[in-house]
Structure 1
């Protein structure tokens, strides 16, 4: 083969390899999300993650947990309660659909805003029903308020129709905790699986 033709073919092959490499990289390497994209899907990411005070709670298996439970991986935290009629089961279902699409899913935790009624046993019969790897945390009322306030979550009792009955009202945002145990941002409701997956793939 003529040397000139061979060099031309080698050059074309090298060019094609570069193009294919760039294409594969664009599909595999996470791309930072623009501020406009983030706003459209309700994702608010802090430039500087916020420290979270240590805490003591109990998970749905009765194991004591603290801030260290959030270190070493990304975590999605949702504040809800087991007798929630709509927002909580819907959000947990969406979270399940979201993490199923990921090769390395984050830790998902529901912290109850109704510790008076949500014992570890009750959480154990509720949270893992959406995904066996999901965890439920409960703690004292004061500890729950402190942790919720640090994550910009508000909640409170709403009196029910009968004396002594009540339900809970609460912020429906999903909180993101980074692998250092810091509050990194939140995703506002309403939640969609593709939006949550997009956020996680951009981290």
Structure 2
């Protein structure tokens, strides 16, 4: 049956309205664009181009092999610290717990936090596992050969000083930034301390969505 002129006009009008509504909804759901000032205010620094991560061999807190391949398939926040650290490490891990638990569930599933030990002399996989279990946030850990650890830290611009392990209760000097890698296992930026979980919980989903 042929449509009348009025019916055609109605259909065109409905289609136009549907298109406008669709574009409006899409714009509303799209993450707001990131700007440099906003990122820096939250301590986030993103590179213009991702940087490679070397294929190293460490051991995870579960006792399995851990390497570059473990960074692939999800976003990662890497923190270089150690379990006997008296201040910055427990503070940072608690802030990372606060951050991850405040993310939307979908984003939380796409993010893995891993603590990489700069004290492999004391931080066995079992020690790391016990320490990370305290935070009850699904955190992973990695430890192992000092040479492999140093190679990874150098590639990610993380500084630490190997301690005199002959001293009792020695401390390890290390930087406190949190490294960000993308689902392709590439180094894309870092977060400077002190962490700001409230601001980061708003920014991280937008960073993750922007790079999809």
TM-score band w.r.t. shorter chain: 0.7 to 0.9
Q: Tell me, yes or no, if the aligned pair for 2:97 and 2:137 is still in contact at 8 Å.
A: no
Match of 2:3 in 1: none
Match of 1:49 in 2: 50
Q: Tell me, yes or no, if the aligned pair for 1:57 and 1:138 is still in contact at 8 Å.
A: yes
Structural RMSD (CA): 2.6
Q: Point out where structure 1 has 5 or more consecutive residues left out of the alignment.
A: none
Q: Tell me, yes or no, if the aligned pair for 2:107 and 2:205 is still in contact at 8 Å.
A: no
Establish whether residue 200 from structure 1 lines up as the match of residue 201 from structure 2. Answer: no
TM-score by length of 1: 0.84
SS at the partner of 2:59?
strand
> Deviation string for 1:92-141 (max 9, x for gaps)?
11111111222222011000010011000100101132134110100111
Of 120-129 and 29-38, the range deviating more from structure 2: 29-38
Q: Tell me, yes or no, if the aligned pair for 1:52 and 1:182 is still in contact at 8 Å.
A: yes
Match of 1:146 in 2: 151
Match of 2:72 in 1: 71
> Deviation string for 1:56-111 (max 9, x for gaps)?
01111110111100011111101110011121111111111111222222011000
Number of equivalenced pairs = 193
SS at the partner of 1:84?
coil
Higher share in strand: 1
SS at the partner of 1:58?
strand
Match of 1:120 in 2: 125
Judged with a 3 Å threshold, the aligned counterparts in structure 2 of structure 1 residues 79 and 45 are, in CA distance, closer, same or farther, namely: same
SS at the partner of 1:108?
strand
TM-score by length of 2: 0.81
Q: Point out where structure 2 has 5 or more consecutive residues left out of the alignment.
A: 1-5, 208-212
